[in-house]
Amino acid sequence: MQRNKSSHLFKLFCVFMLVVIVITGCSSPTSTAPAEGAKKGPTKISLMVIYYAAEPPKPDVAAFKKLQELTNTELDITWIPSSAYTEKLNVSVTSGDMPMAMFASQPMNATIVSSTRAGMFWEIGPFLKDYPLLSQINKLAYHNLKIDGKDYGIPRSQPVGVDTVIYRKDWLNNLGLKEPKTIEDVYQLAKAFQQNDPDKNGKNDTIGFATDTSLAGLNIVLAWHGAPNKFSVDPSGKFTADFMTKEYVDALRFFKRMYDDKVMNTDFVLTQTAQKVDLIRKGIAGMYFEANFNSAERQLDIRTHTPKAEIDIAYRIAGPKGERVLAALGYNARYMFSKTSVKTEAQLKDILAFFEKMQTPEVVTLLKWGIEGVHYKVDNGKKVSIDEVLYNKEVEPLKFLRLDKENADLTGNSTLDTKVNETYADMESIAVPNPAIALISQTMTEKGAQLTKIIDDAKIKFILGELDEAVFKQEVDKWLKSGGQKILDEYAVEYAKEKK
């Protein structure tokens, strides 16, 4: 009996001590568990991002500090100049030495596709349902960026219609001319800018049209002449490349006419993109082809030389098949997340939460307009820029952090800014899609650059008069025999799978 009593008392003592331990543990001031509802500290995120300005963004400016405050982050950003970005990105990917989030400026190039297939980046598709603002980013952009049907990053969406003729409106007015509406109008405007002293300085020192060694603007002229957007597909599922068509050759003839008549820079083969822009900026050339959202920046550039210069854009140019533009990709980059730096789903979710916050109205306003009272003010309910110079120095360089649908909008107060913002929807209505945009051809991935060079060389030689249409067709046949036909066949197979 005594033994049973002692045993019972011992059990009660154990229960008592267990309760004490639990209570003490829960109330201990040395506990490392955060109190319920406690504010989580800033999330540390490393990023690699492109910049185009003369200098990288400064981490000590108020806009950048405010961004970190609004998103509750500590951002460690490695800014890489655009001229070196592709090389740096490729080296980082191949070496595996990547930040947590990487701005992929060419998100479907061979390096990105192969490394993604090798398991180096996180697939984010399964997580998107938990991030409603990220899910609302342009569906076309997500679709066009899929690799093997999966999402491996967040698109930096762009308008579908962006290609325009940018021209000197003040020169147009000086010559008493009207905005171009047809292909012939564009040629005649270039000719007038070349020959009729549009800047009224009494000198023959202007050229009509500027381009560079990449033949920038060919896509625009292809659209006018009725060519497909890179590829076309017939009802049977057979693919054809744009340069296999008569319309493509017609577009090359347009450039050859301008070259032969010397209404464009005849040294374009030796002209780099920056030099082409300089021809516009310094008031030498009157017209070139570029994305509509770059027009306002170009106007500011020109006004450093000619304060009263005025830029305008034209895009509804009538051709054989009506008014057309070739649809852009719907994106110009994406952010991808390295598995070498982001080791757990929890870390990935923290980064996705950051990009989700980047879509909130407060952050969108910050990165679009800056800080109220510093970069903009509210006048009659509308935001108005206060100091464009300060804005371009402190806020504009941060634009490549933006993923929101307004990231291409212009924020200045000019008529041109308003016009550009209004063009996006209108241009989308006449945009011709590329049926191969979301298809992956293994041959294109492996040999695309080599094969593209065949056509790039041939089109330049055609414009220079070094080969005729018959020889150009021979170069197209060379492209087909060297792997081009395999590309078309592989697209057909992938297209059929997508249609099932």
CA 290/CA 59 separation, integer angstroms:
31
Residue 278: which residues within 8 A CB-CB, separation 6 or more?
284
DSSP 32: -
How confident is the model over 425-460, as pLDDT tens digits?
Answer: 999 999 999 999 889 899 998 899 999 999 999 999
Residue 273 has a pLDDT of 86
**Structural domains of the chain, ranges and CATH numbers in brackets:** 43-158+332-407 (3.40.190.10), 163-326+432-438 (3.40.190.10)
CA 446/CA 466 separation, integer angstroms:
30
pLDDT at 6 over 60: no
CB 424 within 8 A of CB 161: yes
Residue 39 has a pLDDT of 54
Mean pLDDT score, 320-334? 94
Handedness of CA 414, 420, 421, 422 (dihedral sign): positive
Mean pLDDT score, 144-170? 93
Q: Token pair of 209, please?
A: 């049209």
The HSE-up count of residue 165 (CA atoms within 13 Å, CB side) is 25
Residue 258: which residues within 8 A CB-CB, separation 6 or more?
187, 190, 208, 209, 264
CB 284 within 8 A of CB 305: no
Most confident listed range (217-221, 385-389, 390-394): 217-221
Residue 409 has a pLDDT of 87
CA 398/CA 411 separation, integer angstroms:
14
| CA 444-447-453 angle, 5° bins | 105
CA 30/CA 17 separation, integer angstroms:
20
pTM: 0.77
The overall average pLDDT reported for the chain is 89
Q: Which residue has the tokens 């209108």?
A: 426
Most confident listed range (206-215, 392-401, 404-413): 206-215
Residue 414 has a pLDDT of 81
The HSE-up count of residue 264 (CA atoms within 13 Å, CB side) is 28
How confident is the model over 253-293, as pLDDT tens digits?
Answer: 999 999 999 999 999 999 998 899 899 889 999 999 988 98
How would you label 247-271 residue by residue, b for 16+ Cβ within 10 Å and e otherwise? bbbbbbbbbbebbeeebbbeebeeb
Q: Which amino acid is at 439?
A: L
Q: Which of 168, 163, 217 is nearest to 194 (CA)?
A: 168
Residues comprising the chain, all counted: 500
Mean pLDDT score, 132-144? 92
How confident is the model over 8-54, as pLDDT tens digits?
Answer: 434 444 444 433 333 344 433 333 333 344 457 899 999 999 988 77
How confident is the model over 456-500, as pLDDT tens digits?
Answer: 999 999 999 999 999 999 999 999 999 999 999 999 999 998 887
In whole angstroms, what separates CA 112 from the centre of its chain?
16
Three-state secondary structure call for residue 314: strand
